[in-house]
Amino acid sequence: MSKSYLISILTITPLIVALYFFENRSSYEDVPTISDSFTSNETGLAIDTRIQVTERPRQPNERARRNAHAVTVDQARALAAKGNSDQAARILAELYGKTDTISNSEKITLLETYSLLLIQLGSNEEAIQVLNQLLAIPGLALESELAAKKLLGETLMKQEEWALAQAHLSAWLEDGATRDPDVLLNLSYAFYQQELWTDAISPAIEHLNLLVAQEQDITRERLAYINSLAFTTQDWDNAAWVTQVLINEFGEIRDWRNLIEIYRASGNESGVEQVFLDADEAGVLEELEISMGMR
């Protein structure tokens, strides 16, 4: 099975990151196979820097140091926003080398900003190291932890670290209060790259359920990828459902034909008869029968 993929470049502005993920276009054959398609998403990293820590009273010179640190981080953000990412990275790298001298709350702000900038510059390995440091900070707020896990999982996917990416994305889904369809599809693809087909189908189906419920646009390539997993695992119920979605979205004869093959593979002759009845009602019965050599 093909495992080619395209990983989009991550672009960010300070504290907001738009993440794009994989899309390879491939045609959907009469009998679907695993598609290499993967789609893009946008998701923000809004890390809550509020943290409850017990610290000694600050002396005036300490307050001045903290103020100077915050101003420096803000200057780096402003430079990055203006496109001066390299200069911003040099400023943050200098602060990063002094993390043992700053408080946890300062460290969180620095590490979140620095990790995003590193990803923008394509320094994914360094970003992974910084994000791991961020997650190791004691007392990290849950919102901050979840955002960092999500970004770390997606960055690990860019580095083809499928098992680690799977672990962090799974942790995000287990600990989070919401279900993100894009994270679910990323998780499915991480399983797919490890040839864990049965594990890959579940998040993919949940992903599609969310899109249908939210009435979002669904690409043919995305549906073909999910349907391919269903065919590979012989999950005929989900294969029939996904193919029905394809018919509803695109109405192509090959999808009608695929649905017939699914029902035949599962021994559901009444399902086959229903497809012909539905095709007749949709006005495509003659075209379907011709495509199947019945006329």
Residue 124, token pair as written in the block? 């994914």
53-56 long-range contacts (CB < 8 A, ≥24 apart) are 53/103, 53/104, 53/105, 53/139, 55/103
Same domain, 163 and 214: no
| Burial (CB count <10 Å: 0-12, 13-18, 19+), residue 104 | middle
Q: What is the pLDDT along the chain (295 residues), one digit of tens a residue?
A: 444 333 333 333 333 333 333 333 333 333 333 333 333 343 333 333 333 333 445 555 777 777 777 878 888 888 888 888 888 888 888 888 888 888 898 899 899 999 999 999 999 999 999 999 999 999 899 999 999 999 999 999 999 999 999 999 999 999 877 889 999 999 999 999 999 999 999 999 999 999 999 999 999 999 999 999 999 999 999 999 999 999 999 999 999 999 999 999 999 999 999 999 999 999 999 999 999 998 8
Q: Which of 77, 69, 75, 70 is nearest to 13 (CA)?
A: 77
- Could you tell me if 192 and 200 are in contact, meaning their C-beta atoms sit under 8 angstroms apart? yes
Same domain, 153 and 186: no
Kindly list the distances between the CA atom of residue 30 and the CA atoms of 103, 219, 254, 258, 266, in Å, as whole numbers in the listed order.
Answer: 60, 18, 6, 6, 17
Same domain, 228 and 171: no
Which range of residues forms the domain containing residue 69? 44-176
Same domain, 60 and 170: yes
Asked if residue 134 is part of any domain, the answer here is yes
In the chain, the number of structural domains is 2
Same domain, 106 and 88: yes
Same domain, 203 and 271: yes
What is the SS3 assignment for 16?
strand
Q: Alpha-carbon distance 176 to 31, whole Å?
A: 37
Same domain, 124 and 54: yes
Asked if residue 82 is part of any domain, the answer here is yes
Same domain, 150 and 188: no
Q: What are the residues facing 12 on neighbouring strands?
A: 17
Q: Which helix (H) or strand (E) holds 77?
A: helix 60-81
| CATH classification of the domain holding 81 | 1.25.40.10
